[in-house]
Amino acid sequence: MRSLEFTVKRIMIKLFSTYDSGIINSRMPHFDFRTVSELVGQRTNRFLLKWNLLDNILSKVCQSL
């Protein structure tokens, strides 16, 4: 994840022509850039919600058999 974070930061550095992390971090939300850890967290939560839903459906199906 750190190498992906580095890649996103490098893109922003080149886009804004600055190495100031304060400027880069303040501009990322304006372009809907999120950190890799945020994206992984969101996707993990979505997966777990779907997994729990599937687990509930399967348990009800198995009980009815």
Q: Which of 1, 5, 2 is nearest to 35 (CA)?
A: 5
What pLDDT is stored for residue 42 in this prediction? 93
Q: What global pTM score does this model have? A: 0.57
Residue 33 φ/ψ, nearest 5 degrees: -85, 130
What pLDDT is stored for residue 65 in this prediction? 65
Is the Cβ–Cβ distance between 12 and 33 less than 8 Å? yes
3-62 per-position pLDDT tens digit: 888 888 898 899 889 999 888 888 888 877 778 888 899 999 999 999 888 877 777 777
Residues listed for the chain: 65
Q: 3's torsion region: left (phi>0), alpha (psi -120 to 50) or beta?
A: alpha
